[in-house]
Amino acid sequence: MDEADRLMTVCNSCRYCEGLCAVFPAMEMRRAFSDGDLNYLANLCHACGACYVDCQFSPPHEFNVNVPKTLAIARAESYAAYAWPRALSGTFARNGLVISVVAALSMAAFILGFAALNDRSVLFGVHTGPGAFYRLMPHNAMAALFSAAFLYAILALVMSVRAFWRDIGPPVGGRADGGSIFQAIRDAGELRYLHGGGVGCYNEDDKPTDRHKLYHHLTFYGFLLCFAATSVATLYHYLLGREAPYPWWDLPVVLGTLGGIGLIVGPIGLFMARMRRDPALLDETRHGMDVGFIAMLFLTGLTGMALLLLRETSGAASRRGVCAVHHHALRQVRARHLPLRGAGALRAGAAQRSSLLRGARA
C-alpha cells in the first residue's frame, strides 16, 4: 500500500492521465489516501495499460511510476482483505491451478461414486427421454448439492462487497442521482474503461487493440447466458413440469450453447493475452490464481458443450456424468474462490461495479 500511496501522490500532482479512465478523476477528489481509498482505486483500474504508455515518469525514469502493476498488486491484496471467510483468503493465491483441478476431480469422484453405489449400470447405459439427465443422479439430490454451493457463493460475495463498501467510506460529494448510477452500470457493462481513453488496451507492445475487451465481453456475457439457461430450465422444471434434456432448438439449450461458446473462446483469448502481456504490467506473484480462474471458466464451457454433444451417444451416461460433474463442480470451485478473488472477473459484476457505482456518486 505504501507504493500505491506514493504513486497516487505523484499522479495527483501531474494529472496528465485524467482522461484515460475512472481512476484518475476519482483520485483527484482526494489529497490523501487511506487503505480503503487505495483499494477503491485499485478496483476501478481495468489494467488497460494506457497510463503506463503515456506516463513520462514510467520506468526507467527515477520516479518509477507503474500504475497498472502497482494497482494490480493492491487489487490482489484486496481480494484477500475482503474475502469471506477470512480463513480461506490466502489458499487460492498460493497455487490456484492445482487447487482448482484437485477440487474438481474430488467432486467428480464423489458424484460418480454416489451413482456407482446406487446403480453401476447407469454409468454405461444410453438414456433418452424426459428425466434421462437425472438417471445418473436424482434431481433433488443434484439441486440440493449445487443450490448449497450457489447460496454459499452469494453469501460470500455479499459479505465481501459489504466489507469493501464499508472500507472505502462515504462517497466524496455525496451525489447519488439515478442518472449517474445508471451511467455507472452502463460503463461497467460496456467495459468502457478497458479502451485506454478511446484507442484500446495495451498488452504486449505499444500498439493498442480492442481484443482484450472483446475476450472479457465473451467471458462475462457467456457466463450470464449460461446462468440464464439454467434459470429458464429451472422454470421449465418447476412451473411447466418439463424435465431435461431439452431439444436443440429449445431456449435453455440455445442460451447455454451461446454461453458455452463465449466461455470457451473468451477464456482462451484471455489466457493467450495474459501469456503475451508485457511483464512490466503484470503482478507475477498471482500467476497461479489468474490462470486457475481462467482455466475453470474455460473447462466449465468446454465440459458443458461436451455434455450437450454427447448426451445421446453410446455410453453417454458415463460421459454425461463426467461432463456434468465437471460442469457443476467447476462452478462450485469457482464459487468458493470468488471471495478469494475479492470479486475477480465476477467482482467485475460485484465489488468492482460497486467501485464504479461509488464513483458515479462521487
Reading the block at residue 104, the C-alpha cell is 474438481
Q: What is the CA radius of gyration of the chain?
A: 22
Assign 176 a pLDDT band (cuts: 50, 70, 90): low
End-to-end Cα, the chain, rounded Å: 23
Q: Output the pLDDT for position 188.
A: 78
Cα separations in angstroms, 70 against 30, 93, 276, 354: 18, 17, 19, 21
Judged against a pLDDT cut of 50, whether residue 349 lies above it is answered with no
Assign 125 a pLDDT band (cuts: 50, 70, 90): low
Assign 6 a pLDDT band (cuts: 50, 70, 90): very high
Assign 344 a pLDDT band (cuts: 50, 70, 90): very low
Assign 79 a pLDDT band (cuts: 50, 70, 90): confident
In percent, the amount of the chain with pLDDT more than 90 equals 17
Q: Output the pLDDT for position 345.
A: 33
Report the sign of the C-alpha dihedral through residues 321, 322, 324, 328, in that order.
positive
Assign 5 a pLDDT band (cuts: 50, 70, 90): very high
Assign 170 a pLDDT band (cuts: 50, 70, 90): low
The larger pLDDT score, comparing residue 255 to residue 144, is at: 255
Judged against a pLDDT cut of 80, whether residue 142 lies above it is answered with no
Lowest-confidence region among 6-10, 28-32, 310-314: 310-314
User: pLDDT, tens digit, for every residue of 29-71?
Assistant: 888 888 888 988 888 888 888 899 989 999 989 999 999 999 9
Q: Output the pLDDT for position 97.
A: 61
The larger pLDDT score, comparing residue 86 to residue 64, is at: 64
Report the sign of the C-alpha dihedral through residues 52, 72, 329, 149, in that order.
negative
Please name the helix (run of DSSP H) or strand (run of DSSP E) that holds residue 93, with its range, or none: helix 91-94
Assign 215 a pLDDT band (cuts: 50, 70, 90): very high
Residues 6+ apart with CB under 8 A from 160: 82, 83, 84, 338, 339, 342, 343, 347, 350, 351
Residues 6+ apart with CB under 8 A from 122: 115, 135, 136, 317
How many Å apart are CA 267 and CA 291, to the nearest integer? 10
Judged against a pLDDT cut of 80, whether residue 230 lies above it is answered with yes
Please, what is the average pLDDT of the chain? 76
Q: Output the pLDDT for position 329.
A: 41
